[in-house]
Structure 1
């Protein structure tokens, strides 16, 4: 069973990126940040995603 794909608004993406920066600055690993934000590593590394 696959997960339903989500589409995020520009505001949601900006919030997630800011949250990710804060978590990384606090010493969390990339894996922990991705899991907390419910984002896959493939999404993060996709060209044009950031």
Structure 2
């Protein structure tokens, strides 16, 4: 099943509505998400305000960029070390 990107506002709204409906399957279907997706969202976002969710997503995105940068620089370092070893 293709993954649908949901905005922070939609997720928070969906969590609230489904909680109010006492986790009825109809509520999950109304949002077009599975029960499993709802519980994953609940685990990730429970107790967080919308601003905190935005910050969390921003930090996760920044973290992934930094990890990629570290991986690239590590690879460059290994390549340069091999070049130096071959010259000696």
> Which runs of 5 or more residues in structure 1 are unaligned?
none
Q: How far off is 1:45 after superposition? A: 3.3
Which has a greater percent of helix? 2
* Pairs aligned (count): 44
Distance 1:37 1:4, change over 3 A: same
1:1-50 maps to which residues of 2 (within 5 A)? 3-24=1-22, 30-46=24-40, 48=44, 50=46
User: TM-score scaled to structure 1, two decimals?
Assistant: 0.58
User: TM-score scaled to structure 2, two decimals?
Assistant: 0.39
Q: Runs of at least 4 residues of structure 1 off by over 4 A?
A: none
